[in-house]
Amino acid sequence: MIPFLTIDTTNGNLVLYKTNRTNINQTVQVVWSTNASSACSPAIDCVAQLLDTGNLVLLHNISKHVMWQSFDHPTNTILPSMKVGIDRRTGLNRLITSWKSEDDPGTGNYSFRMNPSGFPQLIVYKGQIPWWSVGHWNGIAWNGVPALAVKFRFHVGFVDDKNETGGVWDVFDSSILSQFVVNECGRIQLFLWYEGAEQGWNEMWSAPTDRCDQYGHCSSFGLCDSSNPSQFKCACLRGYEPRSPTEWSMRDANHGCVRKTGSLICREGEGFVKVANVKVPDTPRVEVISSGFSLKACEKECLRNCNCTAYASANISKEGSGCILWHGNLIDTRKFTVDAGQDLYIALMSMN
């Protein structure tokens, strides 16, 4: 079998062929094609280029219009300048999929992709089930990995407009080679290759790392804290208690927490308790007020609705702005060390 890559003279697409030779004849078979809908006319005006970024592009050599690019179709690796997210104009979903195994590049069980519902967030899925959430973009960092933006010398960001929603990143120092890989076990690994390091790729960071990273580990209205390895990692948020005290005492948090017993009413004067330095709860079914609201205004908004269970700033940069309002269940909340994460305000309803 002899593979070769060429530009199709009839439609300008990039095509990978393989030839099979036998003692009798030779056959040519198409293995893969860019299948770009907007082809070159004439096809001779099409060129393929491998850019310094690692992006393979098919473009019109006269207009320089890119008709197809490999960065739109990633496998298990994210390179600088690549995006993970959704192109709202075309519906293209740029997602990362793991290999089947360390030496089998077939499609594996894990995918890293954008969930655009509610307040968009990046999530690693195992099949169709959330495995680990990077969280939402809070104006400074991805809420679930607050240290990632400052620990290494690259820019991490988020774009959300009428054209697209997605995560972006780039390296400040071009002498440092870098890549994120979603491995066959569902771990995201950051590899760097730089001058002075041992020859080859060095793993500098990975996640998930502990049970609190596991999506919804403490279930509904639970708070996960891994700071003390000898203690049970789950606690109920203020105003809540274990749904099953017996199971909870055996370190089984599968049934989560419920509001403490007693008659609760919704009225003026109910309060909020601040839970500092947390990864805020999952955000696919939240109400988002993106700008123009202070924390005090967010509190008033939450008080207007008896189903509002918590609120937080949507953007914590500078003095903070905007609101995230949760109505109902709070899941996948975890505690960070000091100066990481953000503040969450839990509604405490008044007692009769």
Rounded CA separation 331/298 (Å): 20
125-143, pLDDT tens digit by residue? 999 999 999 999 998 889 9
161-220, pLDDT tens digit by residue? 999 999 988 888 878 888 999 999 999 999 988 876 667 888 988 999 889 999 999 999
- The percentage of the chain sitting over the pLDDT mark of 90, rounded to a whole number, equals 55
Neighbour tally for 243: CB within 10 Å: 18
26 contacts: CB under 8 Å, gap ≥ 6: 19, 20
Judged against a pLDDT cut of 90, whether residue 44 lies above it is answered with no
- What is the per-residue pLDDT for 263? 40
Rounded CA separation 65/58 (Å): 9
88-113, pLDDT tens digit by residue? 999 999 999 999 999 999 999 999 99
Which of the pair, 237 or 320, is modelled with greater confidence? 237
Q: Predicted confidence band at 65 (pLDDT cuts at 50, 70, 90)?
A: confident
**Max avg pLDDT among 58-72, 107-121, 165-179:** 107-121
Q: Predicted confidence band at 3 (pLDDT cuts at 50, 70, 90)?
A: confident
Judged against a pLDDT cut of 70, whether residue 18 lies above it is answered with yes
Give the range among 62-66, 190-194, 212-216, 265-269 with minimum mean pLDDT: 265-269
Write down the residue that tokens 């599968």 correspond to: 254
Give the range among 67-71, 225-229, 290-294 with minimum mean pLDDT: 290-294
Rounded CA separation 346/310 (Å): 4
- What is the per-residue pLDDT for 325? 97
What value does the mean pLDDT take over residues 151-163? 81
273-298, pLDDT tens digit by residue? 999 999 999 999 999 997 788 999 99
Give the range among 38-47, 89-98, 114-123, 313-322 with minimum mean pLDDT: 38-47
Query: Can you give the residue ranges of every domain in the chain?
Result: 1-70, 74-209, 211-351
Residue 76 has what DSSP assignment? Answer: S
Tokens (6 digits) for 71:
């960065």
- What is the per-residue pLDDT for 94? 96
Average pLDDT across the chain, whole number: 88
Q: Which CATH number is associated with domain 74-209? A: 2.90.10
Q: Give the global pTM.
A: 0.89
Q: Are strands 177-182 and 164-171 parallel, antiparallel or unpaired?
A: unpaired
- What is the per-residue pLDDT for 23? 66
CB 72 within 8 A of CB 58: no
Q: Predicted confidence band at 266 (pLDDT cuts at 50, 70, 90)?
A: low
